[in-house]
Structure 1
């Protein structure tokens, strides 16, 4: 009897992601450079509000490329039948795998953020330490459930793009407490704890739905 597929090696996942792995890194580096060169003009102290707007609106949602790229082989018609025919442990192949890449992205994001803050006279608050990481986890697991539910890479990119742009344009008017851009574009009618709880609950729902879909091999193979 074949042994269930457990957590794939990290390098294997990165190679399978192809350009999806490099694009968010490129976007974050460009955003960081833009903040320093254009907004600060090389020699002026950076405003933390401008840093949050730029990195928060561009870099944070880009974690979706990592997650979608992570599961593109599972929905790719060329190889998904063979992959789904193999036994795999749902928790490790789904939740743990997505969480691993999300934590790496969080580490990368905060590293870039702290580097930029070296040129700012402002300090990070508790909100700045907590909310970006929660936002990244939310976008990552939202992409997790979308790619598995839609089984289409282009549709997944489109849905994430529409969701992100709609929240940006409307300041999350239709999102309630689940407002992933609160860190970058705060709303006066929302409090940090409300947004934090909303994002945590929404992330949990996405995890449960994604794990449930991952158990439905008959649906995924169609």
Structure 2
């Protein structure tokens, strides 16, 4: 969902720590193209806050004492026209982060991320772009493998093998954490063509973002 008012990206901040909410609000308030339209301190308040504030992007704390960010993210992403979600965490290898990404979160931010990078992530997500760099994607996939969570699954393999050959090549490249530019060079196609393939993959596989494609490919044992 990327609706805007006055060309501003509408952001809802969800975190049980009032100081974190205040800090994020100050960071986002410094950008003329971003507006904080609401705050919530618990995942249980997210549905009402989203309905009232109509955000484009939700900055969602993963660990909250009531309804956690993972549960709130899963609930949001099951709804039609849901806002994009960026999860907030203290640890980049948090198992909850991986579960949130599988549920459809567009990316994650560490709570000590520099302000300029937080703004860039919000803008990218609102524009429908990836928020995770190829390096971070590779780190996440490595963590999945180390945790033993990415053993090949028949269903994942069936879904990937059902793709056309070129689509499968692009999917595997995404599973390797490659950027559009890297895929373009490796597969000898334009960046625009790569983007078109990624869009078709998201539609065919019924996924929300390229990170989910990467995780699916890894589940299939193809990356």
More strand by share: 2
- Shared fold, TM over 0.5: no
TM-score normalised according to structure 1 size: 0.28
Greater helix fraction, Structure 1 or Structure 2: 1
TM-score (norm 2): 0.28
Larger radius of gyration: 1
